[in-house]
Amino acid sequence: MIDIQDIDFSGFADREQNLKKIGRFNSYQPMYYRPSVFFHSQKLFYLLQEILAQPSFKGYDQDRILVMALVHDDAEIVTGDIQAGNKSKMSAGQMKQVNQNEETAIEQLAKEFPSTISGYNYKSLLLEIYKKNTLESQLVKYFDRFDALGESLHELYGGNPAFAKNTVNEFGTIPLPTDYYVEQFNNYQKNYPLLADFIGTMSPLKKIFKPVNTQKILQSAAKHTPESLVKLTGNSDYDWWKKVLIARGGKGIIAELTTQKES
């Protein structure tokens, strides 16, 4: 299985810098430990490395899945990060425009960047994760959302009340991130139909995600430290997320998860 340092992005001018400039969850102010899209893609890589090591995924092109994970949000270099919660409240016309913008971004990036990355066609990877019509792309999307759930829980356990309040904007009342992602996972037959045989066979590919009690978490929340990261919280999804990222990402991950950027 390929390691993250083995993926060669030479020729992808300014890609890393541009992804590092894009902050996640821009509707939420503040976000104490706001990750960049670049860091999110790294975390997604590590989460998928962990799950692909399971015997059930033997025989799949694991390296291709991992490369897809690293580039899955590259279109945001052009479009910016559009919040999933906002999308859930958009009209059909608004979503059509979002999709058209992403298709245009993919075409633009495919012209600007090299045609291949680690032996895989770059444009094909972007189109596959955009369409989400293969088992591999649905697996990447599942853990894309799982990392977003982990990021949201990380804010709550770090004491950020902003992630326990519904935001209201031009699209309406936006669901809490934790509520939104739990719903997406529990509707796995609709959202990840090609993963149906895997759901329920291993953690965190579960059939039922329990609702998150945000207020209860905030009652005992505290600033994250390297020591607190390794402590169990009782939330199995968050604990799995932390454990895998620390084990696979080491000191770099720990520094990112404990450095408060906003207040």
Q: Mind giving me the DSSP string for 174-234?
A: EPPHHHHHHHHHHTHHHH-GGGTTTTTSBTTB-S-PPPP-HHHHHHT-----HHHHTS--S
Query: 205: helix, coil or strand?
Result: strand
171: Cβ contacts below 8 Å, ≥ 6 apart: 86, 89, 90, 94
Look at residue 194 and tell me if it is in a domain. Answer: yes
Look at residue 193 and tell me if it is in a domain. Answer: yes
Predicted confidence (pLDDT) per residue in 77-93, tens digit: 999 999 898 999 999 99
Predicted confidence (pLDDT) per residue in 9-37, tens digit: 999 999 999 999 999 999 999 999 999 99
Look at residue 64 and tell me if it is in a domain. Answer: yes
CB 231 within 8 A of CB 172: no
Look at residue 33 and tell me if it is in a domain. Answer: yes
Look at residue 263 and tell me if it is in a domain. Answer: no
| CATH number, domain containing residue 206 | 1.10.3210.10
Look at residue 63 and tell me if it is in a domain. Answer: yes
Q: Residue 204 is encoded by which pair of tokens?
A: 């965190």
Q: Residue 201 belongs to what domain range?
A: 4-9+16-258
CB 85 within 8 A of CB 175: yes
Percent of all residues in the chain with a pLDDT value above 70, rounded to a whole number: 100
How many structural domains compose the chain?
Answer: 1
Look at residue 75 and tell me if it is in a domain. Answer: yes
pLDDT on residue 238? 98
pLDDT on residue 154? 99
Look at residue 108 and tell me if it is in a domain. Answer: yes
Is the Cα torsion angle 59, 206, 221, 20 positive or negative in sign?
A: positive
Predicted confidence (pLDDT) per residue in 170-226, tens digit: 999 999 999 999 999 999 999 999 999 999 999 999 999 999 999 999 999 999 999
